[in-house]
Amino acid sequence: MSINLFLNGLPVSAEAGQTVLQVAKENNIKIPTLCYLFDKTTGLTHNPAACRVCMVEIKGRRNLAPACVTEVSEGMEILTNTQKARLARKTNLELLLSDHPKDCFVCEKSGKCELQKLSEDLGVDRLRYEGAMSKSNVPVVGTAYTRDDAKCVLCGRCVDACKQYQEIAVISATKRGFATTISGEFGLSSNEIACINCGQCVKVCPTGALLATNQTEAVFEALNDPEKYVVVHTAPSTRVSLGEEFGLPIGTNVQGKMVHALRLLGFKKIFDTNFGADLTIMEESNEFLDRVLKGTGKLPLMTSCCPGWVKYVEHYYPEFLDNLSSCKSPQGMQAALIKSYFAEKEGIDPKKIITVSIMPCIAKKFESARAELGKDGIPDNDISISVKELAVMIRKAGIQFNSLNDQTYDSLLGEGTGAADIFGNTGGVMEAVVRNAAFLIDKQETDVDIITLRGEAGITRSTLNIGGHQLKLAVASGLANAKLLLDAVKAGTESYDAIEIMACPGGCINGGGQPEHPVDVEYSDILKTRHATIRGIDKKKVHRISAQNSEIQALYKDYLKKPGSHKAHELLHTHFTKR
Partner 1 sequence: MCKINSKEELLKLYRNVEGLLDLRKQSIAGKAKEYYISVCGGTGCTSSESLELVKELNKEILALDLKVKVKAEITGCFGFCEKGPIVKVFPDNTFYTKVKPSDAKEIIESHIRDGVIVERLLYVSPNKEIKRKQEDIDFYGKQKRIALRNCGLINPENIQESLAARAYQALANIITNKVDPMTVIAQVSASGIRGRGGAGFPTGTKWKFAAVQPKGKKYVVCNADEGDPGAFMDRSILEGDPHSVLEAMAIAGYSIGSDEGNIYIRAEYPLAVERLKIAIKQAEELGLLGDNILGTDFSFHIKIKYGAGAFVCGEETALIHSIEGTRGEPTNKPPFPAVSGLFGKPTIVNNVETFANLPIILLDGPEKYAAIGSEKSKGTKVFALAGKINNVGLVEVPMGTTLREIIYDIGGGIKNGKKFKAVQTGGPSGGCLTEKHLDTPIDYESLAAAGSMMGSGGMIVLDEDDCMPNIAKFYLEFTVEESCGKCTPCRVGNRRMLEILEKITKGEGSIEDLDRLTVLANNIKDTALCGLGQTAPNPILSTIANFKDEYLAHIVDKTCPAHACKALLNYKIKAEKCIACGMCARVCPVGAITQSTDIQGKLPNRPAYVIDLAKCIKCGSCIAACRPGAVYKD
User: Which of 29, 37, 99, 300 touches partner 1 by CB under 8 A?
Assistant: 99
Q: Is 87 in the site for partner 1 (CB under 8 A)?
A: yes
Pairing of strands 378-379, 145-147: unpaired
Q: Is 40 in the site for partner 1 (CB under 8 A)?
A: no
Tell me how crowded residue 324 is: count the other CB atoms within 10 A of its CB: 23
Select the span of 169-177, 266-274, 372-380, 502-510 touching partner 1 (CB under 8 A). Answer: 169-177
CA of residue 115 relative to chain centroid, distance: 23
Q: Is 63 in the site for partner 1 (CB under 8 A)?
A: yes
Whether residue 107 lies in the annotated active site:
no
Whether residue 325 lies in the annotated active site:
yes
Q: Where are the alpha helices (DSSP H) in 397-470?
A: 418-421, 428-442
Whether residue 364 lies in the annotated active site:
yes
Whether residue 185 lies in the annotated active site:
no
User: Which among 263, 284, 261 has a CA at the least distance from the CA of 333?
Assistant: 284
CB of 95 to partner 1, least distance (A): 4
Q: Are 466 and 438 in contact (CB under 8 A)?
A: yes
Q: Are 157 and 204 in contact (CB under 8 A)?
A: yes
Polymer length of the chain: 579
Whether residue 551 lies in the annotated active site:
no
User: Which of 48, 266, 297, 536 touches partner 1 by CB under 8 A?
Assistant: 48
User: Which of 9, 60, 123, 131 touches partner 1 by CB under 8 A?
Assistant: 131
Degrees, nearest 5: CA angle 473-475-477: 170
The DSSP code for 19 is B
Q: Closer to partner 1 by CB, 46 or 364: give it.
A: 46
Q: Is 55 in the site for partner 1 (CB under 8 A)?
A: yes
Q: Closer to partner 1 by CB, 50 or 188: give it.
A: 50
Q: Is 69 in the site for partner 1 (CB under 8 A)?
A: yes
User: Which of 3, 79, 95, 484 touches partner 1 by CB under 8 A?
Assistant: 95
Q: What Rg, from alpha-carbon coordinates, does the chain have?
A: 25
Q: Is 179 in the site for partner 1 (CB under 8 A)?
A: yes
Q: Is 284 in the site for partner 1 (CB under 8 A)?
A: no
User: Which of 71, 77, 290, 525 touches partner 1 by CB under 8 A?
Assistant: 71
**Cα(387)–Cα(235) distance, rounded to whole angstroms?**
9
Give, for 205, the enclosing helix (H) or strand (E).
none
Q: Is 78 in the site for partner 1 (CB under 8 A)?
A: no
Q: Are 427 and 498 in contact (CB under 8 A)?
A: no
User: Which of 29, 64, 430, 534 touches partner 1 by CB under 8 A?
Assistant: 64
Q: Are 250 and 418 in contact (CB under 8 A)?
A: no
User: Which of 7, 23, 66, 316 touches partner 1 by CB under 8 A?
Assistant: 66
3-class SS of residue 12: strand
CB of 84 to partner 1, least distance (A): 7
**How does DSSP assign 339-364, residue by residue?**
IIIIHHHHT--GGGEEEEEEES-SHH
Q: Is 502 in the site for partner 1 (CB under 8 A)?
A: no
Q: Is 92 in the site for partner 1 (CB under 8 A)?
A: yes
Residue 130, judged by CB atoms within 10 A of its CB (0-12, 13-18, 19+), counts as: exposed
Q: Are 118 and 93 in contact (CB under 8 A)?
A: yes
Catalytic residue selected from 57, 114, 244, 287: 287
Whether residue 77 lies in the annotated active site:
no
Q: Is 451 in the site for partner 1 (CB under 8 A)?
A: no
Show which residues are catalytic: 284, 287, 305, 325, 364, 367, 372, 508
Q: Which residues bind partner 1 (CB under 8 A)?
A: 48-53, 55, 63-64, 66, 69, 71, 84, 87-88, 91-92, 95-96, 98-99, 128-132, 134, 153-154, 172-173, 175-180
